[in-house]
């Protein structure tokens, strides 16, 4: 039979909810304002949430995506290979030649290149590999943060192929889509988002 919860249980649940929301807000604000380093802050908040009983230690461990961590770790191999073989330097020199397109055009090229690469490999591998190219590129009128933002958002914009991201594959069969459907709609969407990202990097 259904039993109403006690007042104490309701109060504890609301306090835990308030603590969780406060922790999330603290993490977002401190990260946005660059007040403290993100890693120790996140670890401290996770420790606090476990300590006050918002989550159990087992839940905390199970929330870690070891597959994602391993994927990111393994992705540094191709990036190191690009650097050690001189491919990154050659690509960087070629990218610098594109600065004749202007700041907007250069950022758009970075976005589109990273997006195209992430359509065939994982987004983490695309970003790590392209980071090896961009980290030493210097373009007048642009700073490294603008280049990195365009690269990161491009790496998360695998719209043009169904193999670029897991969710693309999930809807491919269920929705009855074809490979060309992704190219037709995703290609235009990539270009639109790329223009917005490039303009946003210049404004902000």
Mean pLDDT of the chain: 83
Helix count (H) and strand count (E) of the chain? 10, 0
pTM for the full model? 0.64
**What is the share, in percent, of the chain residues with pLDDT greater than 90?**
18
pLDDT of residue 104: 93
- Residue 65's contacts (CB-CB under 8 Å, 6 or more residues apart) are none
Can you read off the two tokens belonging to residue 185?
């709609």
CA distances from residue 58 to 53, 101, 120, 140 in whole angstroms, order as listed: 12, 53, 35, 50
The rounded distance, in Å, linking the Cα atoms of 41 and 181 is 43
Residue, of 20 and 136, whose pLDDT is higher: 20
pLDDT in tens, 145-162: 999 999 999 988 989 888
pLDDT in tens, 55-75: 888 888 888 777 667 766 666
Helix (H) or strand (E) holding 191: helix 179-203
CA distances from residue 170 to 69, 155, 166 in whole angstroms, order as listed: 22, 19, 6
């Amino acid at each position: 039979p259904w039993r109403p919860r006690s007042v104490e249980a309701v109060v504890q649940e609301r306090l835990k909810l308030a603590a969780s929301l406060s922790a999330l807000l603290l993490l977002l604000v401190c990260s946005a304002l660059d007040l403290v380093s993100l890693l120790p802050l996140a670890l401290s908040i996770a420790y606090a949430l476990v300590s006050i009983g918002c989550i159990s230690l087992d839940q905390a461990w199970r929330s870690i995506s070891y597959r994602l961590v391993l994927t990111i770790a393994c992705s540094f191999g191709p990036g190191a290979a690009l650097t050690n073989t001189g491919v990154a330097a050659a690509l960087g020199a070629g990218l610098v030649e594109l600065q004749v397109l202007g700041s907007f055009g250069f950022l758009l090229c970075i976005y589109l290149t990273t997006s195209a690469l992430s359509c065939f490999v994982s987004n983490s591998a695309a970003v790590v590999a392209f980071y090896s190219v961009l980290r030493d590129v210097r373009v007048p009128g642009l700073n490294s943060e603008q280049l990195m933002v365009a690269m990161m958002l491009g790496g998360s914009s695998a719209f043009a192929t169904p193999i670029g991201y897991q969710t693309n594959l999930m809807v491919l069969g269920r929705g009855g889509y074809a490979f060309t459907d992704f190219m037709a709609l995703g290609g235009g969407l990539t270009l639109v988002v790329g223009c917005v990202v490039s303009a946003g990097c210049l404004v902000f």
